[in-house]
Amino acid sequence: MSLDKEKIKHVAKLARISVDEAKVESLTKDLNSIFKFIEQLNELNTDKVEPLTSILNQSLRSRKDEISDGKIREKILKNSPKENEEFFVVPKVVE
Amino acid sequence: MSKEKFDYFIKGEKGKYEVVIGLEVHAQVLSKSKLFSGSSTKFGADPNNQVSLIDSAFPGMLPVINEECVKQAVRTGLGLNAKINNYSVFDRKNYFYADLPQGYQISQYKNPIVGEGKVLLDMPYGSKEIGIERLHLEQDAGKSIHDMDPSNTYVDLNRSGIALMEIVSKPDLRSPDEVNAYIKKLRSIMRYLGTCDGNMQEGSLRADVNVSVRKEGDTNFGTRCEIKNVNSIKFMQMAIEYEAARQVELIENGKKIDQETRLFDTKKNETRSMRSKEDAHDYRYFPDPDLLPLKLEQKLIDDLKKSLPELPDKKKERFVKEYGLNAYESNVLVSEKEISDYYEEVAKLSDKKLAATWMMGDLFAMLNDRGLDISKSPISAKHFAELVQAIKSGEISGRIAKEVFEIMVESGDNPKKIIESKGMKQQSDPKELEKMINEILSKNKDKVDQYKAGKEKLYGFFIGQVMKLSGGKANPQLTNEILKKLLKG
Amino acid sequence: MADITNQSLNEIIENVKTKKISSTELTKAYVKNIESAKKLNVFVTTTFDQALDKAKQFDNKPNFDQLLPGMPLAVKDLFCTENTKTTAGSNILNNFIPSYESTVTKNLWDHGSFLLGKLNCDEFAMGSSNETSHFGNVINPVGDQLVPGGSSGGSSSALAADLTPATIGTDTGGSIRQPASFTGTVGLKPTYGLCSRWGIVAFASSLDQAGPMTKTIKDCAIMLEAMSGFDKKDSTSINKKKEQYSKNLKDNIKGLKIGIPKEYRVDNMPKEVDELWEKGKKILKDLGAQLIDISLPHTKYALPTYYIVAPAEASSNLARYDGVRYGYRSKQGKDLIEMYEKTRSEGFGDEVKRRILIGTYVLSSGYYDAYYLKAQKVRQLIKKDFDDSFKKIDAILTPSTPSSAFKIGEKTNDPVSMYLNDIFTVPVNLAGLPALSMPAGVDNKGHPLGLQLIGKALDEQKILNIGYAFEKNCGFKNEIKKWWS
């Protein structure tokens, strides 16, 4: 499998990372060498192997249905890049 | 009940088209706290006041599941006669949006908590089974507010992380009416179970609607479009009608239908393509490594099953058997748990059949006029039963009963008190009535003669006179008997 | 009194307990060391005033029954610390001040220690040389041209340069053990689930574990005891009784069966690494342990598997850094999508972006089965290799790294050769097992090298005991000249 520039741009779009046109070339080279390395896995036949879902052999632990959090708006908003007392603020979303 | 025939087709120039509909209903789980955090789920709080560090996805925050939400999903699954999966997995559905703080929604993809089930609909043309594909648990997103500022979008995360059940139907629905019946039935089942309040105004119940069309008789499905996030039954019906017509027109003009996500514009009453969502469609699902597989003990499932309340289908059967109601009456009275509870309380204290008639008539009309739920009825079940009994015993006539009912609504008084204080008791003393009727007959000798000569229409005139003179209180049955006797004599 | 910052944590604790030195004096000594070690670029943030306050509080009301009485500790800048900037070595968190304390650091403070500062690390713990940090390279005190390893490179350097008596790091594929090996110190990656992940900036959730980095095995036991424990806020935390690792430390390893996996003898491995491994085997054998040849046949697939699983999880874990609620936001975004793309492009460094792209790709539609699912199957095989072997042995001995510390810039242009550094450490993360890197000697350049002990799940005590016995008999002394001050 080799990754071309278009594919990389598409993946970058999915990951919401803008990629400098100037850097696409070297990125393509790096990613292809990494994927060449990764694809060693194709040597292995894993048809009959169950994929691992969790390394821990236990069931999901649950908590009681109690209100134990919230009402910390100031803390939640304190680090936000655009200040507002009640909301997070982002550039207009165009639907 | 009249057996009508199913008849919902879109008529094109080249034939009739059947509409195929599948719904993905998002029902908010009734729980105090969120699916993976301890913040409150209460509706209507100040913006961002019901948000924890987890709901706003701060670095290093981790989810811990709410056991009640799991139980609610199992209860709902049981209520939908569905298979409960002892093993289910939470996955991450990855996409970027301002009101999705984690950059992914925790959902269930390959292994949902509930598998196949079914729901029965009572349609005028008979009963119809709608298949349930699956039910899974997932997190709700926050809310983006676009109209508070011309250049910015505001984000409120109060909803972020609230538990939703996504209930996916099979493509078994065939008309807007069936969609209406299906949503109402689901809502009813969940309200009986106490797993979702079904409040569509507050967004507790929304649906994505999948619509396709095919020529009548075709067995293959057409290309479907998904109409996202419709939040009222009326809009769902309008969206389906518009979308089905649009698709038929495309087909008739030899054009292709694109499989796509569409949005229903409630102002223009049309659906339109949501191109913006298209390129984000690659959700890159994978098991959430912050959570382990959910393994349910069979005992938990069995215990929940044992503790389920009686559900509408069972209750309906019982109402027919126990109260002698017909299928239609039972259906109406079990549609909401509160209605059935009210009815049963009334039926305990009064005539069962008459109670049903009066509830479905005057009581529902009044509630409807005032936009009230039965739980907010100004007439208590006990007072209502007293009213029904007063009618049944002949203490008051049906006509008077309507007046008493009005006064009960306004005053909240019990009917006995109203009847007594206003002297509305029915005139049921045969001697008194005979005296009154004789008086009327003697005053109207000419009419009596005409009647006896064959002008039987005049009977109504005499009744009218009796009612007028008695202020409407004369016992109609007794009046009839006496009048007939005297007119013969 | 004489400078005691070159002593072990355990010795320093004894000195505090016997009042030979106060917590304030100790803290001042570290502040002095840190101020003269700026060349090493170890600290992202220092909290001296706060630390001196805490030291004073301790001295006024000392409690010597605690595990870490009056100890000033610097920690990797991946642990969220309440009201102290936490960057994860990234521009995107450059200005982030948490309102909360990670469970692991809170556990340390609850045992009597306090924060001295936040240590540089590879950006989001992605790196093996501490060269991916937004705050610049960290220098290995072993030599001014050498990397300290990564991603906990600030932690290993700070420890080796006597800038903190002990520290903690996180280990996703070797990020504690490899830097420990490069600096002649001890590093332990605990069993997955032993230390809470709550409040630690996540890299790859199914692999991340916090662990101690110390000068001695005893110190390691003390730190592990203090930091570990069940946390109901982490769904992957193991609910078990707390162990007293330091009290139960024993140097008798007679009769223990030590597995020697043949697959860890890789091509092009420097002769010295092999010799050191032999030396290790001999020491353990002389102490009465039994050496058993074992096979872990899927070892060579561990690294390729890791480079699918870790980036996949990271691509999702790092989606929250979007400029909306905290951290860096680009000023260039006209609409939301552009704001995201610019923010993430400017906020993340090249290695992080590379891994996000790898992870996004291996999870994307049409590729999931070929990459991610395949990797999770191979991961099952790797785990099974260990499970099978541990039926007949108590622990496994391997080299920690295929070489000693390399030069700054030596591998930055070749990601795969950089990744190969973690070849011996990664399998353990994939299998969720505990592993200890302990200093064992030096190569012909005089640079330290470590050996790794791998244990069964939750067998930390056993590998600590083996390490303890080894340490006493190995004769290694980490002699670092303080050339920077």
- What is C62-88 written as a DSSP string? --TTSSSTT-EEEEETTB-BTTB---T
What is the DSSP pairing of strand C395-399 with strand C290-294?
Answer: unpaired
Predicted local confidence at residue B279, as pLDDT: 55
Give the chain B residue nearest C360 (alpha carbons).
B284
Of A1, A42, A91, the CB nearest to C334: A91
In chain B, CATH 1.10.10.410 covers 430-488
Where residue B86 falls (left for φ over 0; alpha for ψ -120 to 50; beta otherwise) is alpha
Q: Which of B435, B487, B485 is nearest to B461 (CA)?
A: B487
User: Strand (E) positions, B332-407?
Assistant: none
- For residue B152, give Cα distances in angstroms to A85, B63, C334: 15, 30, 10
Of A13, A58, A67, the CB nearest to B40: A67
Chain A interface mutation, best of C80, C97, C205, C374, highest count of A Cβ atoms under 10 Å: C374
The DSSP element (H or E) to which C317 belongs, if any, is helix C302-317
Q: How many CB atoms lie within 10 A of CB B473?
A: 18
Give the gap in angstroms from C-alpha B107 to the nearest C-alpha of chain C: 14
Helix B458-470 to helix B430-443 angle (10° resolution) is 120
Q: Which amino acid is at B378?
A: P
Q: What part of A 38-67 touches C (C-beta under 8 Å)?
A: 38-42, 44, 46, 49-56, 58, 60-61, 63
Give the chain B residue nearest C104 (alpha carbons).
B60
Is the omega angle on the peptide bond into residue B127 within 30 degrees of 0, that is, cis? Answer: no
pLDDT in tens, B82-139: 999 999 999 999 999 999 999 999 999 999 999 999 999 999 999 999 999 999 999 9
Judge contact between B405 and B431, C-beta under 8 A. no
| Rounded distance between C-alpha atoms, residue C148 and residue A63, angstroms | 42
| Rounded distance between C-alpha atoms, residue C440 and residue C364, angstroms | 44
Residues 6+ apart with CB under 8 A from B303: none
Low-confidence ranges of chain A (pLDDT < 70): 1, 94-95
Judge contact between A70 and B40, C-beta under 8 A. yes
**Domain residue ranges of chain A, discontinuous segments joined by +:** 5-43
Mean pLDDT of the B198-226 span = 94
Phi, psi of C256 (to 5 degrees): -70, 145
Give the chain A residue nearest C205 (alpha carbons).
A54
B contact chains, 3+ CB pairs < 8 A? A, C
Coil vs helix vs strand at C168: strand
The three-point CA angle C115-C121-C126 to 5° equals 140
Contact across the interface for A55 and C327, Cβ inside 8 Å: no
What is the DSSP pairing of strand C43-46 with strand C114-119?
Answer: antiparallel
Phi, psi of A55 (to 5 degrees): -75, -20
Give the gap in angstroms from C-alpha C344 to the nearest C-alpha of chain B: 12
| Residues in a beta bridge with B137 | B165
Judge contact between B223 and B248, C-beta under 8 A. no
C151 catalytic residue (yes or no):
yes
Identify the burial level of C176 via C-beta atoms within 10 angstroms of its C-beta, where 0-12 means exposed, 13-18 middle and 19 or more buried.
buried
pLDDT tier, B469 (very low <50, low <70, confident <90, very high otherwise): confident
If you search the block for the tokens 């009249």, which residue do you land on? B2
pLDDT tier, C334 (very low <50, low <70, confident <90, very high otherwise): confident
pLDDT in tens, B365-392: 999 999 999 999 999 999 999 999 999 9
What six digits make up the tokens of B199?
A: 């409040």
| Residues in a beta bridge with A95 | none
Judge contact between C161 and C154, C-beta under 8 A. no
C175 catalytic residue (yes or no):
yes
Q: What is the ipTM of this complex?
A: 0.97
Of A31, A78, A88, the CB nearest to C354: A31
pLDDT at C367 over 80: yes
| Rounded distance between C-alpha atoms, residue C85 and residue C98, angstroms | 7
Q: Which amino acid is at C421?
A: N
| Rounded distance between C-alpha atoms, residue C224 and residue C108, angstroms | 10
Judge contact between C440 and C476, C-beta under 8 A. yes
Q: How many CB atoms lie within 10 A of CB B321?
A: 10
Name the DSSP letter for residue A69.
B
If you search the block for the tokens 């302990």, which residue do you land on? C438
pTM for this structure? 0.92
| Rounded distance between C-alpha atoms, residue B292 and residue B87, angstroms | 11
pLDDT at C77 over 50: yes
Predicted local confidence at residue B474, as pLDDT: 86
If you search the block for the tokens 């204290």, which residue do you land on? B349
What is the DSSP pairing of strand B225-230 with strand B261-265?
Answer: parallel
What six digits make up the tokens of A58?
A: 């236990």
Judge contact between C380 and C297, C-beta under 8 A. no
Q: Which of C289, C305, C291, C298 is nearest to C264 (CA)?
A: C298
pLDDT tier, B393 (very low <50, low <70, confident <90, very high otherwise): confident
Q: Give chain A's radius of gyration (CA, Å).
A: 23
Instruction: Number of A to B CB contacts under 8 A, please give it.
Output: 135
Q: How many CA atoms lie within 13 A of C259 on its CB side?
A: 24
| Rounded distance between C-alpha atoms, residue C463 and residue C465, angstroms | 5
List the end-to-end C-alpha distance of chain A, in Å, as a whole number: 36
pLDDT at C146 over 50: yes
Judge contact between C137 and C131, C-beta under 8 A. yes
Q: Give chain B's radius of gyration (CA, Å).
A: 30
pLDDT at B427 over 60: yes
What is the DSSP pairing of strand B117-123 with strand B126-139?
Answer: antiparallel
**b or e along C286-322 (b: 16 or more beta carbons within 10 Å of the residue's beta carbon)?**
ebebeeeebebebbebbbbbbbbbbbbbbbbbbbbbb
Of C200, C232, C313, the CB nearest to B60: C200
Judge contact between B178 and B32, C-beta under 8 A. no
Write down the architecture of domain B430-488 according to CATH. Answer: Orthogonal Bundle (1.10)
pLDDT in tens, C256-303: 999 999 999 988 888 999 999 999 999 999 999 999 999 999 999 999
pLDDT at C459 over 80: yes
Q: Which residues of C touch B153 (CB under 8 A)?
A: 336
Contact across the interface for C368 and B286, Cβ inside 8 Å: yes
Instruction: Number of A to C CB contacts under 8 A, please give it.
Output: 157
C326 and chain A: CB distance < 8 Å anywhere? Answer: yes
Mean pLDDT of the B50-75 span = 98
pLDDT tier, B352 (very low <50, low <70, confident <90, very high otherwise): very high
pLDDT at C118 over 90: yes
Give the chain C residue nearest A17 (alpha carbons).
C341
| Rounded distance between C-alpha atoms, residue A74 and residue C105, angstroms | 24
Annotated catalytic residue, options C54, C76, C106, C215:
C76
Average pLDDT along chain B: 93
C99 catalytic residue (yes or no):
no
Tell how far CA C472 is from the center of its chain.
23
pLDDT in tens, C47-67: 999 999 999 999 999 999 999
Average pLDDT along chain A: 92
Name the DSSP letter for residue C186.
E
pLDDT in tens, C377-435: 999 999 999 999 999 999 999 999 999 999 999 998 888 989 999 999 999 999 999 99
Judge contact between C220 and C67, C-beta under 8 A. no
Predicted local confidence at residue B1, as pLDDT: 43
The DSSP element (H or E) to which B77 belongs, if any, is helix B67-79
Annotated catalytic residue, options C90, C129, C133, C151:
C151
